[in-house]
């Protein structure tokens, strides 16, 4: 079965053809990031315009790369949300029009569930239930995955998402946008124990909060770092980056372990932009050996937003008899 996936929830205009849920025949991503960089964050109107102007070319490219004509596609899959509403609507409108014109089924997919699925496209499928962890620019969520269409949220962030915290800390440190990959790289040169930035798990709950640590970094920089030092990528900036990262990631690891313990589950499936982080991968791998659980990470090219995860998950939903109507709207 050939599924064409479309993803437009944020700044990436993406299309992909996936065969039978796991075989990626093409994975095309056109990002509008270069237009957002000077604002230090994604501007919804610019992202939406980029989708509208590029979606047809991205789809054509994905079909060409898969050596297919549109008539050979069996199902159209699209991200329904969560995401920026205008951005989502541009992909949804396109998907609906294609499904209607071609007379083939439409399947709407949840972006966060698709991020979790991205980890399962290369490695074999774990058995249900498992714990899913989404760490991205918009979300920090733990969930109990009982089936592809039965996912229960266990914990969320109460304020900033982890990726957002990375991006804001990078801004405070005078670095570029998006800050996650930059902090990941810089932190390797720093001492993670140099500064005590506390990011405690919340009492009695598995929820997350990252706005406090972001503010702590801001006050530390105001008090201890002069403007000249901010221009360098050497100490103490590297120490701040490493100390922030260590503390924030430790809470995510701890809460994931607690979620697995609580539900007596030995499988953690991770997805989202921050799952590309090298220190996070190291931490989880170490814990998985000492605590004897299996961790699934997406391949690096599927960590950030893409349409392969959308087409892949849609295949599983299709097999369960799920179809979407042509009057769906953005979530």
Which chain residues interact with Zn ion by CB under 5 A? 136, 305
Site for ligand KG4 in 263-282 (CB under 6 A): 272-274, 276-277
Distances (CA, A) of 154 to 40, 86, 255, 301, 310: 31, 29, 10, 27, 22
Distance (Å, rounded) from C-alpha 89 to C-alpha 108? Answer: 12
Distance (Å, rounded) from C-alpha 289 to C-alpha 286? Answer: 5
Please report where in the chains the tokens 């690096």 appear, as a residue: 300
Contact stretch for ligand KG4 (CB under 6 A) within 39-47, 87-95, 179-187, 218-226: 179-187
- The answer to whether 110 contacts ligand KG4 (rule: CB under 6 A) is no
Nearer to Zn ion, 48 or 136 (CB): 136
Nearer to ligand KG4, 75 or 155 (CB): 155
For 10, the token pair is: 């944020």
- Taking a C-beta distance cutoff of 8 angstroms, is the pair 220, 227 a contact? no
Phi-psi map region of 20: left, alpha, beta (phi>0 left; psi -120 to 50 alpha): left
The number of beta carbons lying within 10 Å of the beta carbon of residue 321 is 7
Distances (CA, A) of 211 to 143, 199, 235: 22, 9, 24
- The answer to whether 114 contacts ligand KG4 (rule: CB under 6 A) is no
Smallest gap from Cβ 161 to ligand KG4, in A, equals: 7
Distance (Å, rounded) from C-alpha 292 to C-alpha 239? Answer: 31
Smallest gap from Cβ 274 to ligand KG4, in A, equals: 4
**3-state SS, residue 107:** strand
Smallest gap from Cβ 78 to Zn ion, in A, equals: 14
Smallest gap from Cβ 170 to ligand KG4, in A, equals: 8
5 binds, among ligand KG4, Zn ion, none (CB under 5 to 8 A by kind): none
Distance linking the first and last C-alpha atoms of the chain: 27
Smallest gap from Cβ 111 to Zn ion, in A, equals: 6
* Bridge-based pairing state of the strands 267-271 and 294-296: parallel
Nearer to ligand KG4, 10 or 108 (CB): 10
Site for ligand KG4 in 289-308 (CB under 6 A): 304-305
- The answer to whether 132 contacts ligand KG4 (rule: CB under 6 A) is no
Nearer to ligand KG4, 131 or 187 (CB): 187
- Taking a C-beta distance cutoff of 8 angstroms, is the pair 270, 133 a contact? yes
- Taking a C-beta distance cutoff of 8 angstroms, is the pair 114, 310 a contact? yes
Smallest gap from Cβ 73 to Zn ion, in A, equals: 24
Smallest gap from Cβ 62 to ligand KG4, in A, equals: 18
Distance (Å, rounded) from C-alpha 18 to C-alpha 65? Answer: 12
276 binds, among Zn ion, ligand KG4, none (CB under 5 to 8 A by kind): ligand KG4
Contact stretch for ligand KG4 (CB under 6 A) within 18-26, 58-66, 131-139, 229-237: 131-139
Q: Comparing C-alpha atoms, which of 321, 311, 317, 328 is closest to residue 3?
A: 311
Smallest gap from Cβ 270 to Zn ion, in A, equals: 13
- The answer to whether 10 contacts ligand KG4 (rule: CB under 6 A) is yes
Distances (CA, A) of 193 to 48, 119, 190, 196, 266: 42, 31, 9, 7, 30
Nearer to ligand KG4, 98 or 114 (CB): 114
Nearer to Zn ion, 48 or 243 (CB): 48
Residues binding ligand KG4: what is the number (CB under 6 A)? 20
Nearer to ligand KG4, 72 or 301 (CB): 301
Q: Applying CB under 6 A, which residues contact ligand KG4?
A: 10, 136-138, 163-164, 166-167, 178-181, 184, 272-274, 276-277, 304-305
């Amino acid at each position: 079965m050939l599924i064409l996936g479309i993803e437009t929830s944020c700044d990436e205009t993406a299309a992909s053809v996936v065969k039978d849920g796991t075989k990626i025949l093409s994975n095309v991503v056109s990002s509008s990031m270069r237009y957002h960089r000077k604002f230090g964050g994604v501007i919804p109107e610019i992202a939406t315009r980029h989708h509208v102007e590029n979606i047809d070319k991205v789809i054509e490219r994905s079909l060409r790369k898969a050596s297919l004509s549109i008539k050979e596609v069996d199902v159209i899959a699209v991200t329904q949300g969560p995401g920026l509403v205008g951005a989502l609507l541009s992909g949804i409108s396109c998907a609906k029009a294609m499904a209607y014109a071609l007379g083939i089924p439409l399947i709407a997919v949840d972006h966060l569930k698709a991020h979790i699925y991205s980890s399962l496209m290369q490695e074999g499928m774990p058995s249900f239930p498992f714990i899913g962890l989404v760490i991205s620019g918009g979300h920090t969520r733990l969930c109990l995955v009982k089936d592809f269409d039965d996912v229960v949220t266990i914990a969320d962030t109460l304020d900033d998402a982890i990726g957002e915290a990375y991006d804001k800390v990078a801004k405070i440190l005078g670095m570029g946008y998006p800050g996650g990959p930059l902090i990941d790289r810089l932190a390797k040169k720093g001492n993670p124990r140099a500064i005590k930035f506390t990011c405690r798990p919340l009492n009695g709950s598995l929820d997350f909060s990252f706005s406090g640590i972001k503010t702590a970094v801001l006050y530390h920089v105001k008090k201890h770092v002069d403007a000249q030092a901010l221009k360098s990528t050497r100490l103490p900036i590297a120490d701040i980056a490493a100390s922030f990262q260590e503390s924030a990631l430790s809470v995510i690891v701890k809460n994931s372990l607690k979620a697995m313990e609580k539900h007596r589950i030995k499988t953690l499936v991770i997805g989202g932009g921050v799952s590309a982080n090298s220190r996070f991968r190291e931490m989880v791998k170490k814990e998985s050996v000492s605590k004897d659980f299996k961790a699934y990470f997406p391949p690096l090219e599927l960590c950030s937003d893409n349409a392969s995860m959308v087409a892949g998950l849609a295949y599983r939903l299709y097999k369960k008899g799920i179809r979407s109507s042509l009057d769906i709207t953005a979530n």
